Amino acid sequence: MKISKVRTYFKNQIAIIDGDFKEWEDAFNIDNIPSSIRDKSYHIAYEIPTSEDFNTHLEDGISVTLNAFFKGYRTPAATLDVAMDLCNDIRIQSVKKESIESFRATDDNPIFGVISNSIIPTSITSNDNQVVITLEFTIRMAQTIC
């Protein structure tokens, strides 16, 4: 099993909502995203803070943080509104049972649940016309160990 399927799952869901999004592929640092690509870019990070052993398989609770970056509408409020609407669409798309089942069917993937924990907007301190929306998810994944 590849834990990196978590990234693939979210990339697919984002592309369904809006194919113009670009992934920032730095492993950890989101502070160095060039302003030239800050509109509709995203970064995905994940970790496994919980795991249960069922003798034949592990059930992992994988924490996923998706940061989505937006900039440049007429007003900061307009930027926020557009960003929140798009991120809410991504959130809804990601937790749909049909999305999970479709991904599992095409990839024999062990993801069996996606929970949305939060969606939090913040401004980039140097420019209030740039917004970061942080979406937090918990992925439930089963991995065979026998």
- pLDDT tens digits, 68-120: 998 876 777 888 899 999 999 999 999 999 999 998 887 666 888 999 999 99
Average pLDDT of the chain to the nearest whole number? 85
Say whether domain 5-144 belongs to CATH 3.40.50.720: no
Stronger pLDDT, 142 or 10, i.e. the higher one:
10
pLDDT at 8: 92
**In Å, how far are 26, 29, 51, 100 from 107, measured between CA atoms?**
25, 29, 22, 11
Cβ contact 24:30 at 8 Å: yes
pLDDT at 11: 96
- Give the pTM: 0.87
Query: Domain ranges in the chain?
Result: 5-144
